[in-house]
Structure 1
Amino acid sequence: MIKISKIDIREIQIPLAVPFRTALRTVNSVDDIVIIVHTDAGDTGYGEAPPTAVITGETKGSIVCAIRDFIAPAITGMEVGNIEEIMHVLHSCILYNSSAKAAVDMAVYDLYARSLHRPLYQVLGGARQSLETDITISVNPLDVMVQDSLTAIDRGFQILKVKVGKEGMKDVERISRIRQATGPRTAIRVDANQGWNPKEAVRIIARMEDLGVNPELIEQPVPAHDLQGMQYVTAHSCTPILADESVFSPWDAIRLLEMHGADMLNIKLMKSAGIYGALKICSIAQIYGVECMMGCMLESKLAVSAAAHLAAGQKVITKVDLDGPSLCCTDPYKGGPEYEGSQIRMNQTDGIGITCGSVSFKGLS
């Protein structure tokens, strides 16, 4: 019986190739908390949590406190093979703190799959061995966004996730110019990051439809709490509506789908408090007959790889937004899935496959 012996908490900073700009924030580097879960057999599992205060409400300090003072004492000594019991304790020992829980959750799942001597995606369903991700085009002056889109295509990306939501109807011009520059074969996903109100969103989407821009989907057009607004936009748009910030938990997913507030759900480990909660959302989506996207925050290869294993495991996840490693200047990790342009090929080694032995972590401040 392999038991959890201790949890170490570290910090990592990785510069981005270009600033990441959305309707909510501007970020210049991945600046995350990394955790290492040790067992009494000498095994290690790895997890990561980004402090995304504008979305999850969490900071570095709150993540460290939640793990150090609540989660680690609660699960230390528990058997790695008893995944259900660990997850029950993990999710009940502290309220909220979804990113902190996600970091520990993915590390435990890493250890669990390692104990079974299988890649994690096979343990989670084994639906496919490779994925195709989009890449994010940040909010910038129009000419910059067009050039960034063309550069992404040159790098092998055929799916663009374009950030908008700051200037209302001017966003139509952004998407239209990008469509003209990239041609009809490029898939364009429009992410408003809660930037519109319901009636404005319907007008903007209708205008894009009239111009033949043909966005693949519109992500989170209105504020997360405005579920009636999501319902209104979904009912009055031909383009599929993807819920992101409106869906954190399985209960959020049920409530939104019951009221027809979205056509699709964007699952992110940092919202669902990890793989365990994400699997529940996948099951709910299957019941309601809707597809899911697997997304990420500004995370390094470590957390993105955990999300990739879930996406490769579950058939209901049909779209992938896992471009975090492609946005970073460097990759400090070894092993795990291989990221080459838009293609993600799953590792066949045990667990998530990531090792951190040579990584230079920052000291916690």
Structure 2
Amino acid sequence: MKIKSINTGLLLSPLKTPFITAVRSVDVLTDVIVRIETDSGLVGWGAAPPTAKVTGETVGSITGAVNEVIAPLLLGSDCEYLEGNLELLDGALLHNTSAKAAVDIALHDIWGKSIGQPVWKLFGGNGKSIASDVTISLNSPEVMAADTIAAVERGFSIVKIKVGGEVSLDFERLKTIFNAVGSDVKVRLDANQGWKPNEAVKILNEMEAAGFAIELVEQPVKSFDMDGLRFVTERSPFPVMADESCQSVKDAIDVIKTHAADMINIKLMKCGGVRGALRIISVAQAFGVKVMVGAMLEGKVSAAAAAHIASSFSCVASVDLDGPNLCSEHQVSGGPAFTNGPEIHMNDNAGFGITDVPGAVWN
């Protein structure tokens, strides 16, 4: 079963409300869609969002990498020879992890479909449903509290609170949120590199003294500041998770061996796809470290792949796959069922289960 064609398209999905963090504000979820078709008519789907401030990639660079560099290498390859295809993909060009991730996801999807099994089963999972948190965007304390209340009313028991703005205002944000919902929710903080090491330690200890029940704090300092990350981890009253500081299996090894963070957030776009994610999971399992499976504001195609991973490995302690829930409408058919609440229901459909992306505009 040979790869006959590889095409790219663009899928724009308006968000219900703007997605605001310490580094960006987004109104529309943008995905570059990859469609791989075999000579037998089997189709594999992948996707990648352009996140220039994290991976350095844009719509143009992702489509260019796929169409001009990656596709010529894979055309004619046996889609059932997954490892060989992933080797070709990995060696096709340096960096460009999101472009590689989109193709990697499509290759895993078509591999699962060629065998007639869901990928979670091929990974040794049991197909159990998983629960995601939901992101509360950076805003005024009052708006963030109202958004948290609305999330609780939708059934969410875990919220990820975006912080990383003015430090004193961050404290007020948390105070207002906890006053609004009390202990009804589990709170995760995501600073998106928005604090300096000293101020991160100061505000986190102030939050503990105020009685704020915080499960973890994600990426408190700049991605390149590993010493600063370690400084915070050593002094934080809450577990610290590395996100932008961990973009590869090498980074994961460095973070774990130097105890720069307590946990790692795995995102397919950072590590080049499913293959990279599985390598980081292997390292985490070997060292007994827990991971989060997250995403970079991604739509249902790549979130489906991440959900299959999250439901398959015991070291996955938390899930942050709320991208599809943030969209005002779904333009993707098949895959896991992303409800309007926290539950993501897996199924027995082959591959990642995606059957079509009718909303995509093809190049």
TM-score range (shorter-chain normalised) is over 0.9
> Is the CA contact 1:250–1:284 (under 8 Å) kept in the aligned structure 2?
yes
Q: CA deviation at 1:348?
A: 1.0
Aligned to 2:347: 347
Are residues 1:25 and 2:27 paired? no
> What are the within-5 Å matches in structure 2 for residues 1-365 of structure 1?
2-340=1-339, 341-356=341-356, 359-364=358-363
CA 1:283 to 1:62, structure 2 compared with 1: closer, same or farther past 3 Å? same
Cα deviation 1:237-280 (Å, max 9, x = unaligned): 12000100001100010011111000000000000100000000
Q: Is the 8 A contact 2:132 2:343 kept in 1?
A: yes
Measured after TM superposition, the shift of residue 128 of structure 1 is: 4.6
* Matches of 2:302 and 2:360, distance apart in 1: 15
Aligned sequence identity (%): 44
What is the letter of the counterpart of residue 87 of structure 2?
H
Aligned residue for 1:9, secondary structure, equals strand
> What are the ranges of 5 or more consecutive residues in structure 1 without an aligned counterpart?
none
SS of the equivalent of 2:36 reads strand
Structure 1 residue 360: Cα displacement: 3.0
Name the aligned partner's letter for residue 323 of structure 2. Answer: G
TM-superposed deviation, 1:362: 2.5
What is the rounded CA distance, in whole Å, between the counterparts of 1:127 and 1:94 in structure 2?
35
Q: Distance in 1 between matches of 2:110 and 2:362?
A: 25
- In 1, the alpha carbon distance for the partners of 2:49 and 2:192 equals 18
Between the aligned partners of 1:144 and 1:152, the Cα distance in structure 2 is 12
Return the letter of the residue paired with 2:137: S
Amino acid at match of 2:7: D
Question: Secondary structure of 1:256's match?
Answer: helix
1:180 match: secondary structure: helix
Deviations 1:172-201 (A, max 9, x none): 121121112112131000000000011111
Aligned 8 A contact 1:71 1:90 in 2? yes
CA contact (8 A) 1:134 1:342 kept: yes
Give the distance between the partners of 1:307 and 1:158, measured in 2 at CA: 21
Does the 8 Å contact 2:163/2:191 carry over to 1?
A: yes
Paired AA for residue 352 in structure 2: I
**SS of residue in 1 equivalent to 2:32:** strand
Please state whether the residue corresponding to 1:233 is helix, strand or coil.
helix
Aligned residues: 362
SS of the equivalent of 2:361 reads coil
Provide the TM-score with structure 2 as the length reference.
0.98
- Distance (Å, rounded) in 2 between the aligned partners of 1:332 and 1:248: 29
Task: State the alpha-carbon separation in 2 of the partners of residues 263 and 138 from structure 1.
Answer: 24
CA RMSD in angstroms, aligned pairs only: 1.0
Q: What residue identity is the alignment partner of 1:183? A: G
The residue identity in structure 2 corresponding to 1:46 is: W
Aligned-partner residue type, residue 342 of structure 1: P
Contact 1:222 1:230 in 2 (8 A): yes
Q: Hey, what's the Cα distance between the residues in 1 that align with 2:126 and 2:242?
A: 23
| CA displacement at 1:236 relative to structure 2 | 0.7
Q: Distance in 1 between matches of 2:117 and 2:36?
A: 18
Question: Relative to structure 1, is the Cα distance of residues 128 and 363 closer, same or farther in structure 2, using a 3 angstrom cutoff?
Answer: closer
Structure 1 SS opposite 2:152 = helix
**Cα deviation code 1:136-190 (max 9, x no counterpart):** 0000111110000000111111100000101113211211211121121310000
In the aligned structure 2, how far is the partner of 1:235 from the partner of 1:68? 45
C-alpha distance in 2, partners of 1:318/1:118? Answer: 25
Distance 1:313 1:125 in 2: 6
- Alignment check: 8 A CA contact 2:141 2:174 kept: no
8 Å CA contact retained: 2:334, 2:356: no
**Other structure's SS at 2:206 match:** helix
Are 2:295 and 2:320, in contact at CA under 8 Å, matched by a contact in 1?
yes
1:280 corresponds to which letter in structure 2?
R
**Code of the aligned partner of 2:94:** L
Please report how far the alpha carbon of residue 302 of structure 1 lies from its aligned counterpart in structure 2 after TM superposition: 1.1
